[in-house]
Every structure is written in C-alpha cells, then in structure tokens.
Chain A
Amino acid sequence: MTAVDETTTDPAAGSPVNTARAHSHGAGVVPDASRAERVTSFDVADFAVPTGREEEWKFSPLRELAPLFEAAPAGSAAVEVSGPDAVVHRTGTLQEVGAGTAFTPGDRAAVTGWAATAQAHLVSVPAEAELDAPVLVAVRGTAGTTTSGHLVVEAGHHARALVVISHTGSGAHRGGVEVRVGDGADLTVVTLQEWDADAVHVGQHDVLVGRDARVRHIAVSLGGKAVRLSTNVRYAGPGGDAQALGVYFSDAGQHLEHRLFVDHEATNCKSYVEYKGALQGDGAHAVWIGDVLIRAAAEGTETYELNRNLVLTDGARADSVPNLEIETGEIVGAGHASATGRFDDEQLFYLQARGITPDEARRLVVRGFFASIVERIGVPEISERLMTTIETELAATDLAGTSSTEEN
C-alpha cells in the first residue's frame, strides 16, 4: 500500500499514547477503529510529550508549543468576567466550580493545562433566563509566562445566552473550556484569538449539548504565533443541534490550527461545521481537521462539514482534512466538502468591470468570503471589529496580490 501518511510510528520505540493497545503478536499496532478510540484522560501520565510523528500532532509546530507540554505548575492568566446581573460567576479550584463533568483532556497540552490549573471560572446562566446582553470573558496573557486556565460555561434548561471569550496579550497559554448546554437551551459561545504576534495558545473546548438544545460555537483566530484549538461536540440527549463555525486569517510565519470532533451518539441530532480561512505570506500555515463520527446508535443524524481556504500569496500552506466515520445507514444525511483556492478571477473581473478598483474589489471579495460566518456572531461591534481587522491584514498583501491578478 502506498503510505498516505508516511509518519508512521515505530511501535518498538514506544507508541506515544496507545501503548496499552499495542498488540502482542509483534505484527504492529492495531489502528484506532474509529475516532472514538482516541485516548482522553485526566492523568498526565496517559499522554507522552509529542514527538511530531503522532497523527494528531504531525501538523503542529512543536518547538513553539513545547512550554505547554510541561507538567510543572503554571500561573493563571488574568481573567475578567462581566455580563448581565442574572449570570452567576464563580471562581475557585476545578472541583469548586464543578469542572470535569463535560470535559476530559484529549491531548498532552490539555492534560498538563488541567493539572496546572489553580483557579478556574464558572459562568452559569440560570434556567429559563434569556439574556439581553452578552457575557464577556476576557483572558489576558503576559509575555514570558506560561499560564493555564479552565472555564465552565453552563446554560440551564431553556436558557438563552451569548458568551464571548476573548484572548489577548502574550505568553504561552493553555485553556480548557467546558460548555454544558441544558435541555432546550440556546447558547452561542464565541472564542476570539486576538493574541499579540508572539503568543502561543493551545485550547480544548468540549461542548455537551442537551436534549433539543441548540448551540453555536464560533472560533475566530487572527493573532498569535501558534494557535491550536480543539473543539469537541457531544450530545447528552436526542434532538440536539450544534453548529461549529470558524474564521481564521494566517499571516507570514503564523500557525493556526483548528481541530473539530463531532461525536454523534444520540438519535436525531444535527451538526453543521463551517470554517473559512485566508492565508498570506511566507510560512503562513493553516490546519483544519474536521472529524465527524456517527455511531451505530445515532440514527436520524444529519451532518455536514465545510472548510474553505483562500490562499492569497505564495509560500502559504493550507492543510485540510475532513474525516467522516459512519457506523449506521439510518441517517438523514452526511457530507463534507473542502476547497482551497485563490481569488476567483471572474468575481474580480466583474467588480472591476463595474468601475471598482482592483484593491477595492479584492476587499469586497474577501469580505463576502468571511461574511457568512462573521455575521452570525451576533454582536455587531465584534463583527465589525473583525471585518476591520481582516481588511487591515489584507491591506498588507495588496502589492503581491495586485501583481498576480495582472498576470492573468
């Protein structure tokens, strides 16, 4: 067989995570039969420090992320929480805020982050409360420090709320976010990665969707040297509806990685994943992994995943892997799509034919590309600020972009 993935790990040298499953016949390791077999654990010892050969780390810049793999105690990032009066905010140890019921670390950085978290936060929206303003959670890192944090977002049954988590500042940060959506609730969680250019961030967001609940998880990654965000969605009961949306803009030398895993175990649930990204500059790297597993019991599932990359200049690299595992035929539908390309010359031509300058046309096309997701954030100020940031980033490529347009 042709090795599609040539980063096979020598079992004799100690397979990093799944040593427990190494087969005794000496004929090698039994590959995970499905995405569900990936190890999750609260014990640091269950996750070796990644070497880069592992399937789940092979795209990541391990040198940048190295401080986040250390099990040593770390400080807490500065966190500020504000929101309507109805919302309960508590801080305390992981136990005190009731963390860990809907969250299990899934990789080395998540487990060391969990182990090192001294102060966790709980944001709780009471049952049936309908918030008229967003809850804002501001996480700020400090240069030269390694920090960890854990946030529990809880929406009681039939509550309706919008929670915005922003990440700014510098340093190395590990953040666990645990989202529990009560039955019939309607929750939107927006996570903004607007780090300074030298920050590194590994985050794991676990979302548990209650019966007939609706949740939107929106990730926006613009800043940071290296950001790797894993979002896992599970369903606690039938009828749940989850959307995971994302926007990213990767600049020269910047690594932005988003890993999604939607685990359909309950019946009649829906999931929709859509991530859109743009890349520009030398060494700009975007990674998108979208895993969807439909277990045998999850009849009536409807799922779709979409990733689109807009590569604006040479030297950028986009990896896009939409994986789909389906164990039952009794589903409404399942599909995924991934597309990577450059500006659509016809769109640019059309706009220019209407008297719009090339620069302006490019701006409009990019705006349109991201609009479908940005508009769904629900906070006009944030949407507008993001569009402005994206346009500022875009302005930096105008020289390179214009010349390549004129080549055609």
Chain B
Amino acid sequence: MTDTVSDTTQELAGPPELEGLGKYRYGWADSDTAGSSARRGLSEEVVRDISAKKSEPGWMLQLRLKALKLFARKPMPNWGSDLTGIDFDNIKYFVRSTEKQATSWDELPADIKNTYDRLGIPEAEKQRLIAGVAAQYESEVVYHQIREDLEEKGVIFVDTDTGLREHEELFKEYFGTVIPVGDNKFASLNTAVWSGGSFIYVPPGVHVDIPLQAYFRINTENMGQFERTLIIADEGSYVHYVEGCTAPIYQSDSLHSAVVEIVVKKNARVRYTTIQNWSNNVYNLVTKRATAAEGATMEWIDGNIGSKVTMKYPAVYLMGEHAKGETLSIAMAGEGQHQDAGAKMVHAAPHTASSIVSKSIARGGGRTSYRGLIQVLEGAHHSASTVRCDALLVDTISRSDTYPYNDIREDDVVMGHEATVSKVSDDQLFYLMSRGMAEDEAMAMIVRGFIEPVARELPMEYALELNRLIELQMEGAVG
C-alpha cells in the first residue's frame, strides 16, 4: 500500500482490525467428477429423474410436480435482497457424489473424507460432543451415524430420503404440513427438487441430552442444494439439532434453498442451532418454520456469517396455550454481503410468549437487515412478545436496516419492540487501550461483548468457533 492511498482507503474501510472478518477459511474445492457431469436447468424431466433415482412412492412424485408448477407461477419476492443474479437455468439441481451412504468415515471417498477432516467433524464425533452426525455433500447425505443408546430409545435420526423410505407413514403425516407446498417461491422450488436433509423423530418423554448435528457442504460450482429437514418432537421430549454449512469460493453463484419443518408437540422442546458460513457466492434462501403446541417451546438460534445473500426468517407458530417461541439471531455482513435475516412469531393461542433478540454487525460495505413479524391473532389474549434488535456499525460505508412488522389484533397483550444502532465508540476503545490493550484486542473485546447474549446460548464448541472467528480477523489485521 502506498501512503497516499492507504489514508483514504483506511478511512473508508473502517478499523483495519476487522479487515480479516471476511477471510474465508473453507474456500477450497475438491475434485469434481460428479458435479461436472450433472445437468443444468430445471424441467419436469429433472424432477422425475430425481424422484426415480430415489425410487420414491408415487405421491411424492405427484407432490414434486405440483410444486414445480407452483414454483413457475409464484412471483419472485419484490422485497428484501436483490435476487436478479440467480440464473435458474444455470443451476445443477441434483448432484450425486457417492453411490453409498457411509456409516464410517473411512468408507467415504478420500476427497470427501478429507474435507470433513478439515472441517473437524469426525473429531467432534469421536469426542462424543455430539450424539449423531449427518454429513450432506452436494445433494445427498454421505455419512450418517447415531449413538446406539438413542436408537434403542426409538429416536429416529436419518437423512430425509431414508426417512421417506423407511418411515413412510410418519413422514407422510407431517411432510408439508408446517410449510405448505405453495408457501413461497423458494419453498415450492425446494419441494420440487428436495434431496437430503435430516429426518428426526423423538418419542414421547425422551430427552436427547447431547446435540444431533448435520453438516452441509456444497462442492460443485453453480450447485443448488435443496435439503429438506423434518423434525417431530413428540410430547414431553427434547432435542437440540445443530447445523453448519460451508462451500468453496467460485466465480459464479450457487443456490442453497432449504426447507425446515418442525413439529413441537405438547410440552416438548426443540432447539435448532444454525451456524451458516457459506462462501460469498452462495444465495441462501431458506424457509424455516415450527409449530408449537400447548406448553411447547421452540428455540431458534441462528448465526449468519457467510453467504452472498441470506434471506431467512425462522418462524414459530404458537398454536397451543402457554407455547413459547424464542429466536436468537446474529448476523455479520462483510464486503459484498447482504444478511436479510430476522424472525417471525405468530401468536395463535392465549398465554403464548415470544422473544426475539437480534444482533448484527456490518463492516466493509456489507449490509445487515433485520426483518421480522410479530402477529397476535384475535383470541390470543394474555400473549407477550418482546423484540430487541441491536446493530453495531464499525465503519462509515456499511449499512444496517431494521424492518419490524407488528400486527396486533387482541387487546390483552404486551408487545414491545426496541432497536438501537450504534458504532464502536472511541470512548470504549480509548478506555480499553488505556488499560494496556492493543487496539485490535480492544475491538475484538467490544465485538465479543456485543454478541455475548447470543454466543452464550450456543453449544460450547460453537461459541468457541464464533469467538475464534473474531480472533481470526484481528490476527489478520496485525499481519
């Protein structure tokens, strides 16, 4: 850097300590024979082909075809992010990377195993930090394992294709009930071409004390990953599901459009944690929704760090009395990124409670938007809802927006929304530096303090990962 340029760029780009935030550590790509031969574009033939490859029952094929028609008919959203960069004709809708699902890491092709080793998944499993693992590579789950004792208790944790094959009745009863086939354009798309994802059933009263984990990886360029997850927590049960995702960095864009449906039955509790760290060429357009029955609790913990564009608003429909919904959300947007994330809570029964805490950090010209909806339907008396959004801006070129919709149709409710946007103040930095801290350390500490309310809800290893991510950017600044 020459002196004259550096002054202005530094001022524009904000604190150099945060430069590294955009550094992506998962950007390598494996060799790609399956991906290069896969066909591009979407047609009825493609849908029929996917269904045939999976030897699906006829009703599923019919549903897929119906969804395909709806996808064509549904308009693109005219709000949120700019999605005109998505070229639906250039996307590969189904890529099969390996013929057989493995139950041991050694059975996987070396390339794929190597990828997961570098992501640290087998290690975590070995250490029993997780109770079950699903690893999805391209369109299908390539590795699957669940702890034996859970299996004995009747817990089902399989990939969604297997779920349909082996538990068809249960699957049919719930599939598409939380998110209808025509819910929105991308839910229709997912229903037409879905593949992979997790299918989880927890029997009444069973507590799965250690999280189940899924790991999603896109390897092919212009890949479309459409996993479909269905979680049913029967009465009085508990499960914590954690998902992570990464992809290589390519010149052109990939699309990830998942649908996650969760049924939380009476007095059950489900916690769903996402650490989304796609590379900066992935459009991440995901529909996530849960229904919570009487006394049930649904918690979304949603970390959005990667991707080019994310539009994701995990929803909880509070259908039974005393149901509870909670969303904790962190979004970080760096250069070229738009995180349009938020939450949706629909109070459809009396005495229901919801809370949303959203924290966002924009830097390097990135944009974070909180978009949320609180709806209190008639009859949902004695409902309470609080929304808290905080945004931290660390330079002058980044952007932060808040779009909260509140729709209250009942008198006996308490609803509050609050948002603040602040910048890292010189006073805070000065104070910490006067105590002997270097500027980058001080900045890291302020950022960590800002996201702490969300980070502390994460499983230990994920909280560490998040902190490591922030450490990393600071290191990058020194070098």
**A interface with B by C-beta (< 8 Å):** 1-6, 8-12, 15, 23, 25, 27-31, 33-34, 55, 296, 299, 309, 311-331, 333-342, 404
Contacting residues, chain A, for B87 (C-beta < 8 A): 25, 27
- Pick out which of these stretches binds chain A: B113-121, B232-240, B285-293, B470-478: B285-293
Majority secondary structure, A binding face: loop
**How distant is B125 from chain A, measured CB to nearest CB, in Å?**
31
| Closest CB in chain A relative to B34 CB, distance in Å | 27
Residue of A nearest to B77 (CB): A8
Some 13 contacts from A to B, beta carbons below 8 A apart, are A1-B285, A2-B312, A3-B77, A3-B183, A9-B75, A10-B75, A28-B75, A322-B402, A329-B396, A331-B423, A335-B421, A341-B413, A341-B414
Inter-subunit contact B417/A338 (CB<8 Å):
yes
Tell whether A29 pairs with B422 under 8 Å between CB atoms, given A2-B314, A4-B372: no
Q: Mark B414-451, 1 if CB is under 8 A from A, else 0.
A: 11111111110000000000000000000000000000
Q: Are B413 and A329 in contact (CB under 8 A)?
A: no
Separation of A315 and B403 alpha carbons in the complex (Å): 25
Report the bound CA distance from A1 to B343 in whole Å. 11
B409 touches A335 (CB 8 A): no
Cβ contacts under 8 Å, A30 to chain B: 82, 84
The smallest C-beta distance from A225 to any residue of chain B, in angstroms, reads 20
Q: Given that A317-B407, A331-B423, A336-B402 are contacting pairs, would A1 and B79 also be in contact in the complex, using a CB cutoff of 8 Å?
A: no
- Structural contact, A27 and B419, CB atoms closer than 8 A: no
B320 at the interface (CB under 8 A from A): no
Interface membership of chain B positions 1-26, coded 1 if the CB is closer than 8 angstroms to chain A and 0 otherwise: 00000000000001000000000000
Would you call B313 and A330 a contact (CB within 8 A)? no
Interface string of B281-315 (1 = CB under 8 A from A): 00001111100000000000000000000011111
Q: How many Å lie between the Cα of A401 and that of B412 in the bound state?
A: 11
**CB nearest neighbor in A for B179:** A2
B419 x A336 contact (CB < 8 A):
yes
* Alpha-carbon separation in the docked complex, A2 to B300 (Å): 14
- B469 CB within 8 Å of chain A: no
- A28 near B405 with CB under 8 A, answer no
B52 CB-CB contact with A under 8 Å: no
B217 within 8 A of A: no
Contact B76–A28 (Cβ < 8 Å): yes
Which of B329-337, B387-395, B459-467 contacts its partner? B387-395
- How many Å lie between the Cα of A316 and that of B409 in the bound state? 6
CB distance A334 to B396 under 8 Å? Answer: no
Which B residues form the contact surface with A (CB < 8 A)? 14, 74-88, 183-184, 186, 285-289, 311-315, 342, 344, 371-373, 378, 391, 393-423
B404 near A317: Cβ-Cβ < 8 Å: no
Q: Is the CB of B402 within 8 A of A312?
A: no
Closest to B391 in A: A326
How far apart are B228's CB and chain A's nearest CB, in angstroms? Answer: 15
Q: What is the chain B residue whose CB lies nearest that of A305?
A: B419
Which residue from B75, B78, B396 sits with its C-beta under 8 Å from A299? B396
- Nearest-neighbour CB distance to chain A for B8, whole angstroms, equals 15
Neighbouring A residues of B84 by C-beta, 8 Å? 23, 25, 27-28, 30
Interchain CB contact under 8 A, A2 and B184? yes
Cβ B288 vs Cβ A2 within 8 A: yes
Residues of A within 8 A of B184 (CB): 1-3, 6, 8
Interchain nearest-CB distance for A220 vs B (Å): 22
Q: Which of A8, A31, A328, A342 contacts B411 (CB 8 A)?
A: A342
Contact, CB under 8 Å: B86 / A27:
yes
Q: Are B82 and A33 in contact (CB under 8 A)?
A: yes
* Minimum CB distance partner of B418 in chain A: A337
Q: Which residues of A contact B397 (CB under 8 A)?
A: 296, 328
CB of A200 to closest CB in B, whole Å: 23
A9 to B75, CA, bound (A): 7
CA distance A2 to B313 in the complex (A): 6
Chain A residues lying within 8 Å of B344, measured Cβ to Cβ, are 2, 4
Contact B313 A4 (CB under 8 A): yes
Residue of A nearest to B362 (CB): A329
Instruction: Pick from B315, B415, B416, B421: contact of A326, CB below 8 A.
Output: B421
Asked whether, in the complex, the Cβ of B416 is within 8 Å of the Cβ of A11, the reply is no
B406 to A340, Cβ gap below 8 A? yes
When C-beta atoms are compared, the residue in chain B nearest to A303 turns out to be B421
**Given known A-B contacts A33-B82, A339-B415, A11 and B405 have beta carbons under 8 A apart:** no
Return chain A residues, CB-CB under 8 Å to B88.
27
- In the complex, chain A residues whose CB is within 8 Å of the CB of B409: 315-317
Q: Hey, which chain A residues are within 8 Å of B372, CB to CB?
A: 4
* Whole-angstrom CA separation of A317 from B415 in the bound complex: 13
Chain B residues in 8 Å Cβ range of A329: 14, 393-396, 398, 423
Partner among B76, B312, B315 whose Cβ is within 8 Å of the Cβ of A29: B76
Q: How far is the CA of A2 from the CA of B342 in the complex (A)?
A: 10
Complex contacts, B186 vs chain A, CB 8 Å: 1
User: Please, how many angstroms separate the alpha-carbon atoms of A296 and B398 in the complex?
Assistant: 9
Tell whether, in the assembled complex, residue B78 and residue A322 are in contact, meaning their CB atoms are under 8 Å apart.
Answer: no
**Is there contact, CB below 8 Å, between A31 and B405?**
no
Beta-carbon nearest neighbor of B394 in chain A: A329
A341–B413 Cα distance when bound, in Å, is 5
Contact yes or no, B411 A334, CB < 8 A: no
**How distant is B317 from chain A, measured CB to nearest CB, in Å?**
11
In the bound complex, CA of A327 to CA of B393 (Å): 9
A11 and B312 CA atoms in complex are apart in Å by: 22
A326 to B289, CA, bound (A): 29
Closest to A308 in B: B416
User: Do the beta carbons of A317 and B408 come within 8 Å of each other?
Assistant: yes
Complex interface: chain B residues within 8 A of A2 (CB): 183-184, 287-289, 312-315, 344
Q: Does A337 lie within 8 Å of B419, measured CB to CB?
A: yes
Query: Of all chain A residues, which has the CB nearest B393?
Result: A329
Tell me if B419 and A335 are in contact (CB < 8 A): yes
Q: Within 8 Å CB of A319, what residues of B?
A: 405-408
A5-B79 contact, Cβ under 8 Å, with A324-B419, A329-B423, A331-B423: yes
- Point out the residues of chain B lying under 8 angstroms from A317, CB to CB: 407-409
- Report A-chain residues with C-beta under 8 Å of the C-beta of B417: 320, 322, 336-339
Q: Are A323 and B402 closer than 8 Å at their CB atoms?
A: yes
Cβ contact within 8 Å between A321 and B405: yes
Q: Which of A6, A31, A296 contacts B80 (CB 8 A)?
A: A31
Whole-angstrom distance from the CB of A347 to the nearest CB of chain B?
A: 13
B408 and A4 form a contact (CB under 8 A): no
Residues on the A chain within 8 Å of B14, using CB: 329
Answer whether A334 and B399 are a contact pair too, CB < 8 Å, given A317-B407, A320-B406, A404-B411: no
Q: A12-B75, A31-B78, A338-B417 are in contact. Are A1 and B312 (CB under 8 A)?
A: yes
CB-based nearest B residue for A23: B84
Which residues from chain A contact B399 at a C-beta distance below 8 Å?
Answer: 325-327
A396 and B425 CA atoms in complex are apart in Å by 51
Contact B404 A321 (CB under 8 A): yes
Residues of A contacting B373 with CB < 8 Å? Answer: 4
How far is A316 from B378 in the complex, measured between Cα atoms in Å? 9
The residue from A11, A327, A341 contacting B78, defined by CB atoms under 8 A apart: A11
